[in-house]
Structure 1
Amino acid sequence: MHPSPAQPVHAFFSVIAVPLRSERVKSISYCRISGDRINYERQIDALIVSPRLRATEAAYILNEGLKLPVKIMDCFQERNVGVFEGLTQADARARYPELWSQNITRRWDNGPTGGESVSRKTASRAFR
């Protein structure tokens, strides 16, 4: 499933392949110029990135001047937000008021239905 160009800007996306919006591409392109300077000063060896579409797009834009190896690593992917996937905060609050009232996306040991908790994401990805 790919969101339409009218897809909400401030929505939960962890699984859906969402491309970067044009304003984000401009922002990242501006950062790329600073990144070129940073690499010269700090000697960065590689860019490590989430496998999510928008993350890899951002990495390749940043890397245009750097020419570094890009390493796509699953352990850097966003945590799965389950039933909140693709919803704005207002939609999530309206459709799942009980989950929303628990501030479920910020709970350490619990997550939205069908999603991951922060602790599960940390344990399953970071310690591989």
Structure 2
Amino acid sequence: MDWRLPGGVTRMILVRHGRPSEEMKGRCYGRLDVSLAPEGHVQAQRAASLLSQVELHGLYSSPRLRALDTAKRVAEGRGVGLQVEEAFREIDFGLFEGLTYEEAERRFPSLYAEWMAHPEQVRFPEGETFSEMRERVRAGGRALRARHPGQCFALVSHGGVNRTLLAEALGMADRHLFRLDQVHAAVNVIDFYGDEPVVKAMNLEP
């Protein structure tokens, strides 16, 4: 990846958090504040190393601990402050939060079946719909781009947030969102020529 920024281009770098703590494996977690697993800290450091030569004019993070812990690694040794942005939190699973997928299926069989068939259309009880998350994430992305015209900035958040912003750049329908893989600590790059996005890199594994 050539990290030199062409003149007049606004570059958005999207980083997914590292692997979360092991007790969350196989569970729904969006709103839950989950820390990184030991492997997640290693992944975060690798992502930071990958971006070590990139000049950042802004560094932002979701408020969730797993994203903040990852972003702090990226921030180390840089002259740019880390700012928390509520818009980029992961989707709120409501009453699904903390449940295993098997528990969610037993407690909410009809809704679970709908979620598996049409994940972009479900409203989680006492939580969010994907369209609600999509609108806050896209609005947040526009705000950051307006804050950094002609500059490079990074956002550390979640798989769902990254997919939402990448899908917007690619003009993908919501139902195709999960065609975009996002490994833990993945790095993605979108360049904006005015309002026209060009995806330069996606799902880079540090």
The count of residues paired between Structure 1 and Structure 2 equals 120
The one-letter code sitting in structure 2 at the alignment partner of 1:22 is P
Cα contact 2:63–2:86 (8 A) shared by 1: yes
Decide which structure has greater strand share.
2
The alpha-carbon deviation at position 90 of structure 1 amounts to: 2.5
The alpha-carbon deviation at position 105 of structure 1 amounts to: 9.2
Match of 1:11 among 27, 35, 52: 27
Match of residue 83 from structure 1: 95
Match of residue 116 from structure 1: 128
* Structure 2 unaligned residues grouped into runs of 5+: 1-20, 141-206
Say which SS state the counterpart of residue 83 (structure 2) adopts. Answer: strand
Give, in whole Å, the separation in 1 of the partners of 2:85 and 2:39.
26
Say which SS state the counterpart of residue 114 (structure 1) adopts. Answer: coil
The one-letter code sitting in structure 2 at the alignment partner of 1:23 is E
Cα contact 1:48–1:70 (8 A) shared by 2: yes
- Deviation per CA, 1:85-123, whole angstroms, max 9, x where unpaired? 012222222322111100269544432111100112233
Say which SS state the counterpart of residue 58 (structure 1) adopts. Answer: helix
The one-letter code sitting in structure 2 at the alignment partner of 1:64 is E
- Percent of matched pairs sharing the same residue: 23
* Structure 1 unaligned residues grouped into runs of 5+: none
The alpha-carbon deviation at position 31 of structure 1 amounts to: 1.6
Match of 2:115 among 76, 83, 103: 103
Say which SS state the counterpart of residue 71 (structure 1) adopts. Answer: strand
Cα contact 1:105–1:111 (8 A) shared by 2: no
Match of residue 8 from structure 2: none
The alpha-carbon deviation at position 34 of structure 1 amounts to: 1.0
Match of residue 63 from structure 2: 51
Give, in whole Å, the separation in 2 of the partners of 1:107 and 1:10.
17
Match of residue 34 from structure 1: 50
Give, in whole Å, the separation in 1 of the partners of 2:90 and 2:117.
12
The alpha-carbon deviation at position 24 of structure 1 amounts to: 0.5
Give, in whole Å, the separation in 2 of the partners of 1:49 and 1:111.
25
Cα contact 1:104–1:111 (8 A) shared by 2: no
TM-score, normalised by the number of residues in structure 2: 0.52
TM-score, normalised by the number of residues in structure 1: 0.79
